[in-house]
Structure 1
């Protein structure tokens, strides 16, 4: 499964009072190399349809939300990172033990990401929902680690079997490595029976605790100057070359328009970010989805064939897109119909440079 190296910057360090979260998908064991990342959009009436990756029956709900979801490979129901129209973002940083558990009447890490986004409007609610689902549908061999963020708070959630623990992010900025469980002794929420005086990661598996890693790229300062463009550069600096897959950045803002950026191509250092907002009737490009009889998305296939000069031109377009959207967001509180095809237009503009 796709793990992720994640970066969280709390609002006190960010421009416009946003919370910014970034994720580099990584494939350390090489099982997903060459596979395409898919980007899928779901309306509320379809976000819970279909069969989960683990096979457990999806609960019905009267209130569900629109979701944009990244899937690490073809054929998955769930995803490894996504966001909803309530300004909630959920990402998988590490999973172990569930690779062979498909159709086992359980919920896999990818299922949990999609379900949390479909059913929850805040980070705290998503943390508790994740815990409830882990307690009910996990297996003893499963170990998962998630980041959960909204416009005001970030959380780390570590799960081992049917046990879970969550830590609220207090540091102004934090790198969450993809190597294992991250919740230690600073437990704010957990399984009721858990001894919160223990170090959760160490008590579950001494070798599973993720080692700390330094920040990469532009470092957030206490002057509210950090932007999503800085996060693009952070993810590019943290990219691990051939093992790096799709990258994401979510800019979560309660008072303005939240925006979610996807590369949908491997290796952030060789890719550009394309924006998505929850406009009234958003449409995403079929070029970010694997079509019948194909093995790669067309975007991924053409990206593999790109010429060096194309990336330079695309980076210039990316910068212009950032500036134009910043101006739009400064003038508008809600996205209008003119942003319905924002991601679609950007993907198709990128493809033109590759042909």
Structure 2
């Protein structure tokens, strides 16, 4: 396996498996979000909505024209910005973005962040190909630029995207993190024909390759794995952590449906007009963006590091809870479990609550 150099510029890791590489007739999408170490990532559910003609939409830095209808989305995002690092919509479209480090200069002027483009594409697309067209159209009209970190010092980069739906995936060429790309490719190749959501979670937890990042000022701050069945009558299942370090986090299942709602335990506090991203000049102060689950997880990580026996017990409880979610997804997709729609819609909320009880 290729070795990883911790001095390589930070970038995320996205993976996708399509049949026949997948163990089941489904596209399987996965991403680790590698971000500044102390950055909090929240999981946000946004329902489908209609909008009045001529409406404007405030993104992280700039406004854009709103469309007449937006789709329901589940997003894993740095809690200070509008866009997202990764997410999915009600039509089974998944997108993850990647930082790209090239010789081409990056515009520090404020425009759309790559993370804004990701959310806009999810809200406006019914397929991966349509999402690709949305991104390129918005890039041509509004451009890409602005700091990608909550810090007074500009931190700017270009973005690429991995887009997937139930039938296909559109990977965009990556320019950096080649050792980690090779390592991930090797890990996927070893499981070719047998790739499952659980296999993808194992890859995202691989520290030797640097796929699960923990170096200096950066680490994996959140992770996501999605099962996108080719059969349109089956629901897509999206697993999200909402906490850093997937090797010590729980992937929890989310399914779109009537009654789906925001889980408050994974929603960061808001600061309105006083938010450092809204004031000018930006990012001159710091605020505590930790959500309830993040705080509990921090306590759990400290216990794992200080007390080996209790830490192992806690990690086993995490594994057991995650396994329940995986078994629920398997039963659902195999037709062995048919809960009422309301139970499916609140599945993520139930798992978030149970994880919080583990940390309490």
* Alignment partner of 1:70 is 2:86: no
- 1:94 to partner: Cα distance: 1.2
How big is the shift at 1:292? Answer: 4.6
Q: What CA deviation, in whole Å up to 9, does each residue of 1:265-324 have, x standing for no partner? A: 101111110110102111232111112574311111111111312121110121122112
Q: SS at the partner of 1:345?
A: helix
2:39 corresponds to 1:20: no
The alpha carbon displacement at 1:335 in A equals: 7.3
| Per-residue deviation, 1:95 | 5.1
Structure-1 separation of matches of 2:263 and 2:56: 21
Distance 1:142 1:40 in 2: 24
Residue in 2 aligned with 1:231? 200
Q: Tell me what 1:321 maps to.
A: 325
2:97 match? 92
CA contact (8 A) 2:57 2:66 kept: no
Corresponding residue of 2:41: 37
Residue of structure 1 aligned with 2:169, choices 154, 163, 168: 154
Which residue of structure 2 lines up, in the alignment, with residue 252 of structure 1?
A: 228
SS of 1:12's equivalent? coil
Unaligned runs of 5+ in 2: 1-8, 146-155, 272-287, 304-310
For residue 214 of structure 1, give the secondary structure of its aligned residue in structure 2. Answer: helix
**1:195 paired residue number:** none
Question: Is structure 2 residue 17 aligned with structure 1 residue 9?
Answer: yes
- TM-score w.r.t. length of structure 1: 0.76
Give 1:149 shift: 0.6
Equivalent residue number for residue 200 of structure 1: none
Question: 3-state DSSP class of the match of 1:266?
Answer: coil
Cα contact 1:218–1:233 (8 A) shared by 2: no
CA distance in 1 between partners of 2:262 and 2:324 (Å): 20
C-alpha deviation, 1:209, in angstroms: 4.8
Asked whether the equivalents of residues 268 and 290 of structure 2 are also in contact (C-alpha less than 8 Å), the reply is yes
Structure 1 stretches lacking a partner, 5+ long: 158-180, 183-207
Residues 75-98 of structure 1, C-alpha deviation per residue, up to 9 Å, x if partnerless? 311111110010000111115677
User: For the Cα contact (< 8 Å) 1:289–1:297, is it kept in 2?
Assistant: yes
Q: Shift of residue 113 of structure 1?
A: 0.5
User: Normalization by structure 2: what TM-score?
Assistant: 0.75
Cα–Cα, structure 1 residues 98 and 107, in superposed 2: closer, same or farther, change >3 Å?
Answer: farther
Structural mapping, 1:173-252, within 5 Å: 182=174, 208-211=175-178, 212-215=181-184, 217=187, 219=189, 221-223=191-193, 225-237=194-206, 238-241=211-214, 243-252=219-228
Offset, 1:333: 8.7
Alignment size in residue pairs: 297
Q: Does 1:290 align with 2:297?
A: no
1:267 counterpart residue number: 245
Runs of 4 or more, structure 1, over 6 Å off, are: 46-49, 96-99, 332-335
State the alpha-carbon separation in 1 of the partners of residues 267 and 143 from structure 2.
29
Bigger Cα displacement from structure 2, 130-139 vs 285-294: 285-294
> What is residue 354 of structure 1 aligned with on the other side?
359
CA shift for structure 1 position 130: 1.0
* 1:179-221 CA distance string (max 9 Å, x none): xx52xxxxxxxxxxxxxxxxxxxxxxxxx55524222656454
In 2, Cα distance between the equivalents of 1:142 and 1:218?
28
